[in-house]
Amino acid sequence: MRILIDADGCPVVDIAIAAAKAHGIECLILCDTSHHFSREGARTVTVSKGADSVDFALVNMVQKGDIVVTQDYGLAAMCLARSAAVISQDGLIYDHTNIDGLLMQRHTAKKIRMSGGRLRGSPKRTEVQNKRFEEALTRLIKP
């Protein structure tokens, strides 16, 4: 078991690294060349900048039983297909019962944006969200 983090724009990198360290699990941070991550307790994998380059690198690295941290529903679906556990930065555990609905929401939101509509942005991150993520990640590590 490893923890792989889709790190571009991920606010829970340090929490995931701390959990990996506490449980003796390898942690990998994946980012592209437009971001630089270097954290003690994790190995950084930097890939070429490009549309979805981090996503494809992560999918190619993920193995059955790994835990992936991402907000990207498409990436989550690909990792689920590779028998990985997948969790969002808010502690939502993606699975085969919720991923189709989430992908449909993403598709609908994209259609709204493409037609000129606007959607509300995310509110400021709270400590409650961090705690929820940490608790859910711990449940995945210790089922």
For the stretch 92-102, pLDDT in tens is 999 988 776 67
- The answer on pLDDT for 6 being more than 80 is yes
**Residue 61 near residue 75, CB atoms below 8 Å:** no
What pLDDT shows up at residue 109? 62
CATH of 2-141, one of 3.10.20.30, 3.90.180.10, 2.70.160.11, 3.40.50.20: 3.40.50.20
For residue 67, which amino acid is it?
I
Element (H, E) at 47: strand 43-47
Say what the pLDDT of residue 119 is: 64
Burial (CB count within 10 angstroms: exposed 0-12, middle 13-18, buried 19+), residue 120? exposed
CA dihedral sign of residues 34, 12, 43, 54: negative
Q: How do the domains of the chain map onto residue ranges?
A: 2-141
Residue 87 has pLDDT above 70, yes or no: yes
**DSSP 3-state of 85:** strand
In this predicted model, what pLDDT tens digit does every residue of 110-131 receive, in sequence order? 665 667 777 676 778 789 999 9
Whether 38 and 87 have beta carbons less than 8 Å apart is answered as no
Q: Specify the 3-state DSSP secondary structure of 98.
A: coil
Q: What is the pLDDT of residue 22?
A: 94
Reply yes or no on whether the pLDDT at 107 is more than 60.
no
pLDDT tens readout for residues 15-67:
999 999 999 999 999 988 777 778 888 999 888 887 788 888 999 999 999 99
* Stated pTM of the model: 0.83
Q: How many CB atoms lie within 10 A of CB 67?
A: 24
Q: Is the pLDDT of residue 8 over 70?
A: yes
What's the pLDDT score for residue 49? 82
**Token pair for residue 97?**
């019962």
CA angle 40, 125, 105 (to 5 degrees): 105
